Amino acid sequence: MVNKGNIYFAFTQVNFMKIKPQIWLSSLIKNQNSSPSSLPTPQLLKVGLYLTWGASLLLTIITIAGVQQQRYAIKTIGKDTAPSIILAQRLKDSLAGMDANVANELLVKPGENPRAIQDYEERRKAFAERIVGAAENITYGDAERKPIETLQLALGDYMAKSQQARDFNAAGDIRGALSAYREAAQIMDNTLLPAADALDKANSQELDLIYDQQRFATAQALLFIVISGFLLLGVLIRIQLFLNSRMRRIFNPMLLAATAIAIVFLGYTTRAFLSASSNVKVAKEDAFVSLHALRQARSLAYAIKADESRYLLDKAFAVKHEQAFFDQAAKIAKLPNDQTFETVSAALAQGQKVYGFTGFLADELNNITFPGEREAGVATLSTFGSYLNIDKQIRQLEQSGKHQEAIALCTGYNQGQSNWAFTEFKTAHQKTFDINQQAFDNAIDMGFKNVEGFEITTPIVAVAVSILTLLGLRPRMKEYE
């Protein structure tokens, strides 16, 4: 005879299942144990099967959504923003390099400095290639598009004024050459270089925003994956306990296999997300911080090279150009008052921290992470110090009335001359940069590998768990047919 109390109990438990299915299943099992003949075991097995399928589907949806979010963050940092930031600084050093070579060319008579003309053309071609790359990688609308348009348009004006200065110089009109070059320099300082900085800023803001969001999103996605994974495992384990208590089955091979797959998948997914997050951290905090500092140091180095030549070229504004040189050199590397480049380099080579050492090169040397980076960074600082020592000699010659000797030292490429020292700095700088660039690229590649294939493997795991659960429960259901 049907017990109305048990029917009412089952009805209320089914409604409660909409909120907490595991509690409902547990209650049913307890009630069944107390009244074996009153609750239908096949229905309980079907509920367990449906819960397994639902939990598997939930895990699939959450995992794929988390993976896609993680992949988007890696792409934004590794392929969109960071390369654009570096490219903006490359554009800036191309422009500053062009200007430095124009000034060097105007310091001497036409044809006496063919190397300056050659270097100018190299910098101009580099700019042309890089501006195309920047235009092809516009991601954030006008924040990038407008600086790029400004760079393209203003460069034509700068080159026209520079050519006028060359023409006046060829005609022996020094005053006309200087006037035209001043106009070119204003375009460079007030329009071109700020536009490159604006392009850098647009991408830097987006990179910082995405990176902060990525860290939170990764933790959130991983939390939801773990919760949904444990929900699936809880259902599978509860079903096996039910089979053991209700049907006296010690274990069910198919359900054990489904549980093992779920455990392995959850562990693999957790490790993949943590590894991807770790690789993004390496790329952003370890490699990119150094890359950005190094590129800013290099673009400023070209700018002070131009200021060095302007100091000799434009005597009326020599003090202004000298101060600009010192201000921007301090942004590259500023030493404590009681230290020299030799003492600071020696301390840093031993891994010691130098308090009061600031600037972009300090940012790099305080962020040493990768093999060989310290040695390369110290060499970069040391060669920059050598360049500044030669610049000091140039100013001493100029102040002593030895203008031509100062020009020769400024424009020369032989060992011990300014352009030689600048080339030594660039060589050491490039080695340091390459170490960090390789580390950045490797970290981004590993980040992508950490989250690849989940759109295929996750549904396969979910289907496998669902089928194994069905195969494990189907024979038990048939016992009641």
CA 123 to mean position of chain CA atoms: 26
Q: Tell me how crowded residue 321 is: count the other CB atoms within 10 A of its CB.
A: 21
pLDDT at 5: 42
Query: Could you read off the pLDDT of 34-91 as tens digits, one per residue?
Result: 444 345 788 888 888 999 999 999 999 999 999 999 999 999 999 989 999 999 999 9
Answer yes or no: is pLDDT of 33 > 70: no
Going from N- to C-terminal start, the domains of the chain cover: 58-445
Q: Is the distance from CB of 266 to CB of 233 less than 8 angstroms?
A: yes
The CA-based angle 421-424-428, given to 5 degrees, is 145
pLDDT at 40: 78
The SS3 assignment for 358 reads strand
Report how far residue 40's alpha carbon sits from residue 135's, in angstroms, rounded to the nearest whole number.
68
Mean pLDDT of 434-447: 96
- Alpha-carbon dihedral sign for residues 355, 358, 364, 365: negative
Measured between its terminal Cα atoms, the distance across the chain in Å is 21
- As a whole number, the mean pLDDT across the chain is 89
Most distant CA atoms of the chain, gap in Å: 121
pLDDT at 11: 35
pLDDT band at 9 (very low <50, low <70, confident <90, very high): very low
Answer yes or no: is pLDDT of 10 > 70: no
Report how far residue 360's alpha carbon sits from residue 299's, in angstroms, rounded to the nearest whole number.
11
For the chain, percent of residues with pLDDT exceeding 90: 77
Query: Could you read off the pLDDT of 347-400 as tens digits, one per residue?
Result: 999 999 999 999 999 999 999 999 999 999 999 999 999 999 999 999 999 999
pLDDT band at 22 (very low <50, low <70, confident <90, very high): very low
Report how far residue 442's alpha carbon sits from residue 448's, in angstroms, rounded to the nearest whole number.
10
pLDDT band at 140 (very low <50, low <70, confident <90, very high): confident
CA dihedral 391, 397, 401, 405 (to 10 degrees): -100
Report how far residue 260's alpha carbon sits from residue 238's, in angstroms, rounded to the nearest whole number.
14
Query: Could you read off the pLDDT of 305-319 as tens digits, one per residue?
Result: 999 999 999 999 999
Q: Tell me how crowded residue 20 is: count the other CB atoms within 10 A of its CB.
A: 11
Answer yes or no: is pLDDT of 124 > 90: yes
Query: Could you read off the pLDDT of 250-307 as tens digits, one per residue?
Result: 678 999 999 999 999 999 999 999 999 999 999 999 999 999 999 999 999 999 999 9
Report how far residue 40's alpha carbon sits from residue 152's, in angstroms, rounded to the nearest whole number.
78
pLDDT at 248: 67
272-304 burial by CB neighbour count: b if 16+ within 10 A, else e? bbeebbebbbbbbebbbbbbbbbbbbbbbbbbb
349-354 CB contacts, 8 Å cutoff, 24+ apart: 349/374, 349/375, 349/378
Q: Is the distance from CB of 106 to CB of 410 less than 8 angstroms?
A: no
pLDDT band at 323 (very low <50, low <70, confident <90, very high): very high
For the chain, percent of residues with pLDDT exceeding 70: 91
Partners of 358 in beta bridges: 334
Position of tokens 């939990």? 55
389-395 CB contacts, 8 Å cutoff, 24+ apart: 389/341, 389/421, 390/416, 390/417, 390/418, 390/421, 391/308, 391/325, 391/418, 394/308, 394/311, 394/312, 394/418, 395/311, 395/322
Report how far residue 31's alpha carbon sits from residue 28's, in angstroms, rounded to the nearest whole number.
5
Report how far residue 426's alpha carbon sits from residue 123's, in angstroms, rounded to the nearest whole number.
14
Report how far residue 134's alpha carbon sits from residue 149's, in angstroms, rounded to the nearest whole number.
11
Q: Please choose, from the candidates 376, 372, 335, 371, the residue with its C-alpha nearest in 3D space to the C-alpha of residue 355.
A: 335
Amino acid at 370: F
Angle between helices 193-247 and 454-478 (to 10 degrees): 10
pLDDT at 315: 93
Q: Is the distance from CB of 52 to CB of 465 less than 8 angstroms?
A: yes
Read off φ and ψ for residue 334, nearest 5 degrees.
-120, 125
